[in-house]
Structures are given as C-alpha cells and as structure tokens.
C-alpha cells in the first residue's frame, strides 16, 4: 500500500519533475506609446502575462533618472482562440509633460522593468510643424519597411507614426502569439513616438478584440474612431470596417457617422478651423484605387465612398460628408501599393489648376499607402487607371507627411525597394480651407 502510494505520488509529480515549476511572466514587453490628445500627455501601454502593478518611472533627459513616477492599471485580455491565452495590458497616462522636452522612461513594476526608452513630449503650439510617417499593411512576416522606419524613428525624423490598419497578419493567429510577436517588432519604433492606429480587415477576427485590447487611442471607442489635434491639423481616424462586418453590428456604421458629423462640425467652428485649418482623415479601405483586384475601391460604388443600401436603414457613405465639411486630405491603405490621386470628388478630377493641381484644389486629395510589407506581398495595378490616378508604385515603402503651416503641407513616398529613395512628392497648398475652398 505504502509503495503504491509512493508511486502514485511520484507519477502525479512527474510533470513538474520533467518540466519544472511553471514560469512566471512579470516582465514587461510590447511597450508602445500613444498620444491621448491632451497637450502635455503621453500614454504608455505594455503587456505582462502575469498580473503586476502598472508604473511608469521617468525623468527629463540629462536629469536624474526616474525621479517621476505615475501609476496606471491593467486589464485582463483573454484571446478567443482555443488556448484562451491570457495577458494583462497595462496603461499609464503621463500628464503635465513639458512640451518639446525629451523624457527617459521605463515601465513595469517591482516585479520587472522594461528596457529604457525615450520620447519627446509633443509641442502643443498650433504653429508647430509635425512630421509623420504613415503606412498600412505591415506584417509580422516580410515587414519590408520596418528596419528603415526603426532607424529613422530612432534618429528622431518623426513626431508621430500613423498605422492605417492591417497589423501583423494576423494578431489573433497562433492563439495571438503573432500579435505578441508583432507588438515586440514594432516596440523599436512605437516605444519612441506615439503610434496612432485605425482598424483594418485583418483585425476583424473575434470582433477586432486583439486590436481593441492592444492599442490605446483617444476617446472611449477602443480605438475604432477618434480624433485629435497636432500643430495646425485636426486628425480623424475611422473604421472603414463597420461597412463590411455587419454581423458585428450595423449600428456601428450609424454610431460612427453620428460621431463623425459632430466632430467635423466642431472642427469647422470658425474659431477652431482658424487655428487648425487642416482636416486630415485616416481609414483603412480607400474610396478610390486602381489596383487589379476585387476590392471595394475597384468598384464604382465603393461602400466607403457611397454607403450601402442593403442595410436598414440604408447607410450613407463618407465621400459627401467629407466633402461637405471641407476635409483636405484623406489617407488610406489596404491596397499593397502606393497611389496618389488628383483632387477628386464624385469620381471627377477637380484640380486647383492644370499647371498646379494641388494649389487650392477644388476637392479633397487622397493618398493610398499600404505597401509597408506583409506576407501577402504587393498588389498589381489595373493597366487602365481612371483620370484621377496621378502616380502609382508597387514598390514596398511608406509615406512621409510634414504639416508645415496653415497653408503648406508636404507629402513624399519612400521606396524601400530603392534603398529609401523618394519616388514621389507633392506640396499641397491651400490659402483657404473648409467647404468654401471648393468654390
Ligand atoms: C502566470 O501566467 C501564466 C500564463 O498566463 C499562467 O499559466 C499562470 O497561472 C500565472 N501564474 C500566476 C501566479 O498568476
Ligand atoms: C485605470 O486608470 C484609469 C486612468 O487613471 C482610470 O480612469 C480607471 O478608472 C482605472 N481603472 C481601474 C479599474 O482602476
Ligand atoms: C513649438 O513650436 C513653435 C513653432 O515652431 C515654436 O515657436 C515654439 O518655440 C515651440 N515650443 C517649444 C516649447 O519649443
Ligand atoms: C463588437 O464590438 C463592438 C465594439 O466594442 C460592440 O459595440 C459590438 O456590440 C460587438 N458586436 C458583437 C456582435 O459582439
Ligand atoms: C444599391 O446599391 C448598389 C451598389 O451598392 C447599386 O448598384 C444600386 O443601384 C443601389 N440601389 C438603389 C435602389 O439605390
Ligand atoms: C489635373 O492636372 C494634371 C496635372 O497637370 C493633368 O494631367 C490632368 O489632366 C488634370 N485633370 C483635369 C481634369 O484637369
Ligand atoms: C508656410 O510654409 C511655406 C513652405 O515652407 C512657406 O513658403 C510659407 O511662407 C509659410 N507661410 C507662412 C505664413 O509662414
Ligand atoms: Fe486590408
């Protein structure tokens, strides 16, 4: 009996003898920043696999390390895959930062600290000229542009990065381990500058739960739609995906529309538009594109552009709304190419003039930039683009945007295939903003 019991005990313990005790995971990882939209603030988000406190310790560059400390909290995120992998997403909002000052920080708790990173608090002046890198469709596999973006970000070429949907390919895969690995990959940029996002179709699994849980955008919509200001720009981020995944709730289309109209109205109050004349939108699926696939934008009746009439009630699209409120620039991705459009509305070109199409354009300007690099490679173009197509490239790369002042905005496209060569650029010049600029 005694012997049997001993053997029984041994067999029970056998897994521990072979594998050791289960590890504990209190070490912070996947550190990234975002801008909560309030001057002098910055949000730090990271992951641990066991529950810990959420603390950011920081200090001015050149000053005493970590003499400031702010607490936040964490939420438990359980992925919906078979393994139901669980992780804690920590969020800490730093406030009262000195604009343009550089801070050194780490995050975690007494059970483990991250590496040391730095960031520069955004200049809150409306005269500030922010520089952005922007792209969509960056994956865990074949993230072609990532190395160049890492180096340029660490060289402080950008104040903010905009990732216009489609992350990791896909964050939920391998029980969300692909999401973890992707968030580790982008830490080398996203821990240094605010990494602002919108959802794409590759985030749709489990109702966008990996997207909604892993990022921390302004507003109360788990990053689905929100807006914020920087320099002379008002930047609006939307979910084009509400038009495509009706099973997650048709009401999301209308909730977003209602919010959008209010936000655009507010941004157009004369006293607001006077100081932040640029209204820039970002959303994943374009209204227009000339790619050779069956995507929404390849059809004349794009859902994003014209809405859907198979919903109850019919859902208006976004082209008219953006036009009525004088949106200046619309940034898109999804197509794994780069395409610049002449000013366009209702499928027609409205150049400023034949010689200077982007000087006082009579309609919004669209840029489609989804070639950062992912396992799906790049897309092909339709050989006969419409009149609105101004420049196209199938090189891997990303876009740079410089909002210089109230009248001048500069855009350029970087080819990663051509070692960082700038293959396209424009100056968008507007003496007047708002719907009256179209007349
Ligand atoms: C730590 O996290 C692992 C993985 O999620 C989990 O299996 C384990 O139960 C956790 N341990 C504690 C002490 O919370
Ligand atoms: C987490 O922190 C935020 C910001 O400080 C706060 O608004 C929220 O109530 C906190 N949540 C919990 C559960 O403590
Ligand atoms: C912010 O930018 C403006 C415009 O370039 C500049 O005049 C101002 O000095 C900057 N603010 C700080 C604190 O450096
Ligand atoms: C999907 O998520 C959105 C945003 O959180 C929520 O409003 C909606 O009800 C969810 N849909 C379903 C079917 O759970
Ligand atoms: C409904 O939309 C489709 C395409 O989105 C279009 O072809 C059709 O004409 C529309 N029908 C009505 C009645 O508006
Ligand atoms: C717009 O300007 C471009 C560049 O000058 C020109 O090629 C194109 O034909 C113009 N389109 C219209 C409709 O004026
Ligand atoms: C805005 O920037 C452009 C380009 O640098 C410059 O030519 C122009 O003079 C600036 N406008 C003002 C009002 O400073
Ligand atoms: Fe996409």
Residue 248 Cβ inside 6 Å of ligand 4? The answer reads yes
Q: Buried b vs exposed e over 174-212: b needs ≥16 C-beta within 10 Å?
A: eebbbbbbbbebbbbbbbbbbbbbbbbbbbbbbebbbbb
- Determine the average pLDDT of the residues in 316-320: 98
The residues with which 46 forms a beta bridge, in sequence order, are 90
Res 2: pLDDT: 57
Q: CA 83, CA 75: separation in Å to the nearest integer?
A: 19
pLDDT digits (tens, 9 = 90+) for 177-231: 999 999 999 999 999 999 999 999 999 999 999 999 999 999 999 999 999 999 9
Res 205: pLDDT: 98
Q: CA 344, CA 362: separation in Å to the nearest integer?
A: 8
Using DSSP's 3-state secondary structure scheme, residue 253 falls into: helix
pLDDT digits (tens, 9 = 90+) for 98-157: 999 999 999 999 999 999 999 999 999 999 999 999 999 999 999 999 999 999 999 999
Q: CA 351, CA 368: separation in Å to the nearest integer?
A: 18
pLDDT digits (tens, 9 = 90+) for 397-436: 999 999 999 999 999 999 999 999 999 999 999 999 999 9
pLDDT digits (tens, 9 = 90+) for 19-51: 677 788 999 999 999 999 999 999 999 999 999
Residue 404 Cβ inside 6 Å of ligand 7? The answer reads yes
**What DSSP element (H or E) covers 280?**
strand 278-282
Res 3: pLDDT: 56
- Determine the average pLDDT of the residues in 156-160: 97
**Ligand that comes closest to the CA of residue 79:** 1
Q: Note the Cα 200 to chain centre separation in Å.
A: 9
User: Which of 55, 73, 77, 90 best tests ligand 2's pocket when mutated (most atoms within 8 Å of CB)?
Assistant: 73
Q: CA 342, CA 38: separation in Å to the nearest integer?
A: 34
Res 8: pLDDT: 55
Backbone angles phi, psi at 334, to 5 degrees: 75, -50
pLDDT band at 1 (very low <50, low <70, confident <90, very high): very low
CA of 244 to the centre of ligand 4 (A): 14
Q: CA 139, CA 290: separation in Å to the nearest integer?
A: 23
**Ligand that comes closest to the CA of residue 379:** 8
The two tokens of residue 138 are: 């960056």
Q: CA 439, CA 437: separation in Å to the nearest integer?
A: 6
CA of 94 to the centre of ligand 1 (A): 29
Residue 221 Cβ inside 6 Å of ligand 4? The answer reads no
Q: CA 265, CA 404: separation in Å to the nearest integer?
A: 24
Write down the residue that tokens 């072979």 correspond to.
18
* Average per-residue pLDDT for the chain: 95
- Ligand 4 atom with minimal separation from the 255 CA: 7
What is the pTM for the complete model shown?
A: 0.94
CA of 105 to the centre of ligand 3 (A): 23
Res 21: pLDDT: 77
List domains and CATH numbers for the chain. 29-120 (2.60.40.380), 131-438 (3.60.21.10)
**Ligand that comes closest to the CA of residue 403:** 7
**Ligand that comes closest to the CA of residue 203:** 8
Share of the chain above pLDDT 90, in %: 94
Res 24: pLDDT: 85
Task: Please check whether residue 205 is in contact with residue 193, taking contact to mean a CB–CB distance below 8 angstroms.
Answer: no
Res 11: pLDDT: 52
pLDDT digits (tens, 9 = 90+) for 362-387: 999 999 999 999 999 999 999 999 99
Name the residue with the closest Cα to ligand 3, atom 5. Answer: 128
The one-character DSSP state at 69 is E
Instruction: Give the distance between the most distant pair of CA atoms in the chain.
Output: 98
Res 294: pLDDT: 93
Q: What residues have CB less than 8 Å from 168, skipping those under 6 apart?
A: 139, 140, 178, 179, 181, 182, 183, 202
Q: What residues have CB less than 8 Å from 284, skipping those under 6 apart?
A: 136, 164, 165, 166, 198, 199, 200, 201, 239, 240, 241, 332, 333, 334
Task: Please check whether residue 288 is in contact with residue 203, taking contact to mean a CB–CB distance below 8 angstroms.
Answer: no
Q: Tell me which long-range contacts 306-311 makes (C-beta under 8 A, separation of at least 24).
A: 307/243, 308/243, 308/253, 311/246, 311/250, 311/253
Name the residue with the closest Cα to ligand 7, atom 3. Answer: 408
pLDDT digits (tens, 9 = 90+) for 238-296: 999 999 999 999 999 999 999 999 999 999 999 999 999 999 999 999 999 999 999 99
Res 153: pLDDT: 97
User: Which of 405, 425, 428 best tests ligand 7's pocket when mutated (most atoms within 8 Å of CB)?
Assistant: 405
CA of 2 to the centre of ligand 7 (A): 90
Name the residue with the closest Cα to ligand 6, atom 7. Answer: 354
Using DSSP's 3-state secondary structure scheme, residue 256 falls into: helix
Which one is predicted more confidently, 76 or 9?
Answer: 76
């Amino acid at each position: 009996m005694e012997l049997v019991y001993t053997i029984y005990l041994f067999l029970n313990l056998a897994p521990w003898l072979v594998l050791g005790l289960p590890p504990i995971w209190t070490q912070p990882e996947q550190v990234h920043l975002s801008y909560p939209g309030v001057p002098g603030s910055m949000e730090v988000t990271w992951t641990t696999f066991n529950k810990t406190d959420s603390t950011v310790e920081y200090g001015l560059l050149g000053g005493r390390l970590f003499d400031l400390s702010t607490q936040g909290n964490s939420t438990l995120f359980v992925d919906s895959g078979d393994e139901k992998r669980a992780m804690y997403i920590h969020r800490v909002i730093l406030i009262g930062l000195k604009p343009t000052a550089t801070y050194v920080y780490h995050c975690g708790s007494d059970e483990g600290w991250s590496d040391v990173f730095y960031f520069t608090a955004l200049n809150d002046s409306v005269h500030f000229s922010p520089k952005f890198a922007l792209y969509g469709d960056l994956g865990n596999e074949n993230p072609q542009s990532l190395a160049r973006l890492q180096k340029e970000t660490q060289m402080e070429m950008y104040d903010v990065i905009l990732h216009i949907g489609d992350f990791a390919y896909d964050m939920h895969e391998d029980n969300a381990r692909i999401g973890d690995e992707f968030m580790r990959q982008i830490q080398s940029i996203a821990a240094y500058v605010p990494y602002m996002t919108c959802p794409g179709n590759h985030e749709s699994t489990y109702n966008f739960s990996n997207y909604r849980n892993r990022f921390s955008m302004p507003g109360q919509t788990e990053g689905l739609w929100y807006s914020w200001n920087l320099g002379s720009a008002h930047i609006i981020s939307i979910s084009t995906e509400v038009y495509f995944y009706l099973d997650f709730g048709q009401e999301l289309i209308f909730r977003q529309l209602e919010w959008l109209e209010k936000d655009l109205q507010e941004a157009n109050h004369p006293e607001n538009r006077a100081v932040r004349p640029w209204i820039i939108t970002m959303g994943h699926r374009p209204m227009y594109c000339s790619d050779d696939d069956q995507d929404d934008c390849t059809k004349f009746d794009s859902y994003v552009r014209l809405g859907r009439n198979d919903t109850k009630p019919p859902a208006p699209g976004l082209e008219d709304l953006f036009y009525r409120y004088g949106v200046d620039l619309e940034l898109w991705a999804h197509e794994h190419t780069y395409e610049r459009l002449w000013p366009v509305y209702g499928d027609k070109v409205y150049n400023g003039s034949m010689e200077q199409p982007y000087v006082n354009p009579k309609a919004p300007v669209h840029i489609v930039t989804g070639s950062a690099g992912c396992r799906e490679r790049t897309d092909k173009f339709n050989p006969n683009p419409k009149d609105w197509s101004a420049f196209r490239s199938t090189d891997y790369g990303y876009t740079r945007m410089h909002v210089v002042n109230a009248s001048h905005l500069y855009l350029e496209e970087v080819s990663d295939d051509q070692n960082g060569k700038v293959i396209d650029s424009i100056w968008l010049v507007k003496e007047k903003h708002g719907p009256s600029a179209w007349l």
